[in-house]
Structure 1
């Protein structure tokens, strides 16, 4: 049997397995090979140039973000903060290619239009399958009695991000919102001794001031990897994948045919509804009834409003444009051949190999294929 025919049989076998749903990815992966989370704080002002107050606020929120992530012992690297006019932000700002989390702070006039008009003081949103990419926190630098303090909102949303990224149970996030957020708002108007356990203090050196922030969730402190970090893969597909990989590593099939097969393995995950991978956690006005999980997920109690807000924010964040960085790389990278060899020799787990495959797909190094390609 010639190699051309054998290759076609291999690919058709993969298609048959996929058609019966034998292969299933978990809906999130930590696929960045730079393991820490990269973030940047951008302060957007309505004035033509950033004022001294704007710059001071930029540094304040940047410092608090950095210090608060440190409370979680959450591995991260930050870009220098940026203060920018709203028109310049809309027209010119581009997120760095490897940015995982954008922290966007609106000045008072901008935030009242962009957030308060939607009954939000701040929000955390994520778009896409991989929790590592396309995360944004947005808040308004506009303290008032209708919403929580902006610093509190910032740390509230960072907690949402960390807990969501680490895949804690949804009720943990809900309990966190109930336990701390509502109690903190009560304490602002009626302080008693029980309020001392509701917040933690963060000191900002250049302001010589300690800010009240949401206490980090204790069970999440020091966790550097996603909690539910598993991949479900059928045994028949694993065996087939290992045979294909062994043949490729010893030169029995070409790199192009092997890459095509990997592309076929990846197509099943696209069957999920995209809406499943879009989330939005928001901080609403203080004057509210008992918060339900639906209230937290939906911008104002309706799915229609949630979608409107997310589309607007996604456009601002340019998330769709930078969802996955493309590359001009031709061929499979050398490190992947080593990874494949380690997998066939049982030196790395199935999950590690699958994540390597998904990393290549997300970077455009391998692409999905339809049956007629």
Structure 2
């Protein structure tokens, strides 16, 4: 599972870079270029709950393998169309949408499989290793690799991604049979989705974490929606400096994946989650106040550690708490809140920055995170 996740993540990252480059080579319309990233995220808003319900209905391992092969085939179509000169923007959008739908299914199923493969006391470590592989493959390797492969030939990065999906499917097929699937005797799809939503709504701790994550994503994405302009105008950095700041954030994420399990074992989930909210509020406050690039970079490293540790801790709690028949559905609700919060935050950030200035979203985000910390402080005690 670890190797398959790393391989498919690498391919996803390559396509995430190459997709906008392909659109930019076909059109100079900024909206169409930006749409390449949006169309791949759109399925999380449209079908994530449905995908979670299906992942709780079928053999999850077989679903991940099948989805990987379908995504590889879709990329094969794109490779052929680009190589033959028929790779239009609508064709790319269609393929990216298929890849996004497949991602909702595969991610929901994988999140539900992990607790059946890994012993409960090793879940935090397993989640940390998956997160570390994602950070290295997606943040450090895939982005420069995708751009370089696109320079070799426009079709090459998509062909590489197709190969990674086939390889990941082959690796995942070797995972031992997972108990609890296939499942039969269910009610309708709508009732299945409602059951997952009701279960989450009825669990105070997980409900609180889900809402906090959604609202936190609104705050974070509102603040960072125009971060490239913040780096240039507020910190006085050239484009390479902006890249260094993003690298600092990614480096913090990698460090967080290495220490999260140990921090969780030493401090306990409750302390780690509470500290994470305070760190996030402090990060936004520091970025609102500072004009010093090295201080901004340092706080982004700490923030990267926090976001990764928070994600690993909450995923582990969810996997240890949610009953197996509901795991994919509950995970899909989390994904919907996460993606919806990010989308709303990006939109709000663009509006706030235009009318209130580049620093205003950071002030608002700091206040929002402080309020979230205050509202959830007592409930988080139940995390242990």
| Fold shared, TM-score > 0.5 on shorter chain | no
More helix by share: 2
| Larger Rg computed on CA atoms | 1
Q: TM range, normalised to the smaller chain?
A: under 0.3
TM-score, normalised with respect to structure 1: 0.27
TM-score, normalised with respect to structure 2: 0.27
